Amino acid sequence: MHNPACKTATFDQISSLCSLFDDFENIGQLIQDNGIVTFVRKVNPFSIGWNSTGITVAGVTGVAGVAANQFNHPFCVVLDSLNTLYVSDQVNQRVQKWLSNASSATTVAGQSNAMAGSAMDYLNYPSDLIIDSNDNLYIVDAGNDRVVLWNNGSSSGMLMAGTGKKSSFEV
């Protein structure tokens, strides 16, 4: 699950889909390859080429860590309507918010010190993210077997699905 070589969000590789922008003016794909977050640039359907030049927009190349400018296995990325980047920083047990052209991020869900927990102000291996039109985050809190809603500006989440306890059932 964790790839120790994955330490930065980079826009230069292509692999499995993480998120798809549906704004047809700015369409692109964010993809994740072993924790490296990647953006596939806008493709004009009337042209044959696209720009694949990589740009590191978040993180420190080659350095994993818990500092505000570092990741430890970034997993999923979403953008809000103002192009603010939200990254589920899985091993650091948090979701980071990166403003455009910022040199560091703000922790908007979980704890900034990489501490995991099951209380509603903690996360445990956050994976997928969805952001709504009010910048509220829906977070798959995989290690706690739940989906939580973190309202914009809130210091804790609300349980939306799951019980926080592992269960097994057949469908």
Contact 106, 96 (CB under 8 A): yes
- Whether the pLDDT of residue 19 is over 70: the answer is no
**pLDDT tens per residue across span 61-77:** 677 888 888 888 888 88
Tell me which of 118 and 57 has the higher pLDDT: 118
- Determine the pLDDT at residue 55: 58
Contact 77, 89 (CB under 8 A): no
Domains of the chain: residue spans and CATH? 8-42+52-162 (2.40.10.500)
Classify residue 143 by its DSSP letter: G
- Determine the pLDDT at residue 52: 55
- Determine the pLDDT at residue 106: 92
**pLDDT tens per residue across span 91-134:** 999 999 988 888 889 999 999 999 999 999 999 999 999 999 89
| DSSP codes joined into one string, 31-92 | EEETTEEEEEPP--TTSS-------EEEEBTTB--SSTT--SSEEEEEE-TT--EEEEETTT
The whole-chain average pLDDT of the chain stands at 72
Q: Which pTM value belongs to this model?
A: 0.68
